[in-house]
Amino acid sequence: MTDPVQLAQTALAQGDVSLPAATEHREAADDYIDWLHQSPTPFHAVTSCVRQLQAAGFVARPHGGSLQGAPGERMYVVHPDGKSLIALVIGQRSPVDTGYALVAAHTDSPDLRLRLNPLSQAAGTTVLATQFHGGLIRRAWFDRPLALAGAAYQIVRGKGGSPKFSEVTGMPVVTRRLVHLDAPVAIIPDLAIHLDREKNDKGAVNPQTMLNAIVASGVGSLDEVVALLAAQSGVDFGDLDGFDLHLVPAARPQRVGLDRSLVTGPRHDDLAMVWCGLRALIQSVQQEPEPVRTQVAAFFDAEETGSLTSSGAASSFLRDVLLRVARRHVKTAKSADAEQAFAHTFCISADMAHAWHPNFQDLHDKQHAPRINQGPVIKANASDRYATTGETAATFAALCEAAGVRVQDFVVKQDMACGTTIGPITSAQLAARVVDVGCPMWAMHSTHETCGAEDLGAMVAVMQKFFVGGV
């Protein structure tokens, strides 16, 4: 791994003060930045995954259809809510015999979303009322240009304008359309220090009253603002039947630092791991088109709120898909039970980790203080907030060694609370072996999180080694 200080000293000694050459891993980070900016919500993250999967020869399979696949077949299943996705490469052998090689991550991030009746006017402005998803750092949302993205829903209407009903399900037909107004259309201004002299010491942020966003000033009536919004975004609040709309930081993610070794942007938690898992799956199938084991990348919504939704890690989505694939595999013996596959399954649960912070050094146990750009982190917790065991940690460490990647450890200080993730949930749902890992990062749940450019490529290398395996 490149030592940035050494690089800088060498550059100075040679009179060359231009930037160090990009490493392979850092070029991967630039691809990640593009992908991340195109993925402002879980809907868009799933769509960004689908775009790349299709380009790599993966074919859509409806959740309501057959999941039978021949060895080497590439497929993906999008949950009907559009926010979770499972991609698979069917192995040569039955999953009942080999288990699945599974990488899991989550598509949602803490953010602000519009309330059902969001628009109002006050103090000469038009305001969008927000509600929060997950444990966001509230003050990070002040003074950031914000864009609008999400899904808009429309009732399909038949003759006479009445709702159309499906001939199959007997239910009203509703269409979903993705929206991404990639422009700075809103802002949540902070309060001046002169109007609250105690804010630096106290400064609690009330999410009911203080996190609503201004979208216009002096435009006139609410109807005029609604028309302006419709013209720019295609979202006509007067005509919409439903929506899941998010406010998201409008600024493009970027690499920062004299050596450009850091990546700052929203949603690293956990889209960085979604991107790594996706890239590893695509690269591994290019390396080994007909793998022995069935490879799976599962990306779930709703981790930030506990995973208990129809497409979250606590749902039956993954288990159902894996059982259906195992039952239909051509090599699965008639006498076998599909559940046998879970006994051999190994899951890398990938969610970001807290890097040691130079300004808050006492918040890490010094023996378990992961550093940025020093490799993936194994996360362990004796109270089972992570699913890692001694055995699964050793397995992941072996994969890192085989991939030529350094590995780090994280155990939270014992006088602090530990976070959790989809690892324990996936482990319990499948009764499978799981290791919880992630790339180190700062400011988790901020609008501008920071991770290491080198670490992304390193994680891809380990995951690719895991998918391809040593068989």
Decide if 346 contacts 102 (C-beta within 8 A).
yes
As a whole number of angstroms, the distance between CA 50 and CA 68 comes to 20
Candidates 39-47, 135-143, 153-161, 343-351: pick the segment binding Zn ion (CB under 5 A): 343-351
Interaction of residue 351 with Zn ion, rule CB under 5 A: yes
Interaction of residue 108 with Zn ion, rule CB under 5 A: no
CA angle 35, 40, 46 (to 5 degrees): 65
Candidates 151-159, 323-331, 347-355, 382-390: pick the segment binding Zn ion (CB under 5 A): 347-355
Q: Closest distance between Zn ion and the C-beta of residue 439, in Å?
A: 11
Q: Closest distance between Zn ion and the C-beta of residue 254, in Å?
A: 21
Q: Closest distance between Zn ion and the C-beta of residue 34, in Å?
A: 21
Q: Closest distance between Zn ion and the C-beta of residue 213, in Å?
A: 24
> Can you tell me which residue has the tokens 């209407």?
157
Which is nearer to Zn ion, 111 or 351 (by Cβ)? 351
Q: Closest distance between Zn ion and the C-beta of residue 45, in Å?
A: 13
Write down how long the chain is. Answer: 471
Helices in 334-434 by DSSP H: which ranges? 340-344, 390-403, 422-430
Which is nearer to Zn ion, 26 or 106 (by Cβ)? 106
As a whole number of angstroms, the distance between CA 440 and CA 318 comes to 27
Q: Cα–Cα distances in Å, from 309 out to 43, 65, 79, 200, 306? A: 15, 21, 11, 38, 8
Decide if 188 contacts 146 (C-beta within 8 A).
yes
Which is nearer to Zn ion, 97 or 351 (by Cβ)? 351
DSSP for residue 304: G
Decide if 107 contacts 271 (C-beta within 8 A).
yes
Q: How many chain residues bind Zn ion (CB under 5 A)?
A: 3
Which is nearer to Zn ion, 294 or 427 (by Cβ)? 427
Q: Closest distance between Zn ion and the C-beta of residue 444, in Å?
A: 7
Q: Which residues are CB-neighbours of 239 under 8 A, at least 6 positions away?
A: 154, 230
Q: Which 244-283 positions form the footprint of Zn ion (CB under 5 A)?
A: 269-270
Which is nearer to Zn ion, 81 or 269 (by Cβ)? 269
Candidates 6-14, 145-153, 188-196, 348-356: pick the segment binding Zn ion (CB under 5 A): 348-356
Which is nearer to Zn ion, 97 or 270 (by Cβ)? 270
Residues that bind Zn ion (CB under 5 A): 269-270, 351
